[in-house]
């Protein structure tokens, strides 16, 4: 095992121990990329709703998901 990899693993182990001692659950950061499979009718309706709101489908869906996530928190 290379020294760099060993040091990386030691750093990760230290991080996980710190999280454990502080009662914090480590989280893997999200990439920001999300692929969904929906029925074609849902996709079409979402496109129409986004266009009606003057937004791209990505922007419209992102805002909708953010709102839902905030409400669930």
Instruction: State the Cα–Cα distance between residues 46 and 60, nearest whole angstrom.
Output: 8
Same domain, 45 and 25: no
User: Residue 46: which domain range?
Assistant: 31-73
Structurally, how many domains does the chain consist of? 2
Same domain, 21 and 54: no
Cα of 62 vs its chain's centroid, Å: 11
pLDDT in tens, 46-60: 999 999 999 999 999
Same domain, 40 and 60: yes
Same domain, 25 and 35: no
- pLDDT, average across residues 5-31: 90
Mean pLDDT rounded to a whole number for the chain: 92
pLDDT for residue 1 is more than 70: no
User: Cα angle at 65 between 70 and 69, to 5 degrees?
Assistant: 25
Instruction: State the Cα–Cα distance between residues 54 and 47, nearest whole angstrom.
Output: 10
């Amino acid at each position: 095992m290379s020294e760099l990899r060993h040091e990386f693993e030691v750093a990760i182990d230290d991080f996980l121990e710190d999280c454990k001692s502080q009662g914090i659950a480590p989280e893997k950061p999200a990439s920001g990329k999300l692929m969904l499979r929906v029925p074609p009718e849902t996709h079409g309706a979402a496109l129409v709703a986004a266009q009606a709101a003057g937004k791209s489908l990505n922007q419209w869906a992102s805002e909708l998901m953010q709102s839902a996530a905030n409400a669930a928190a």
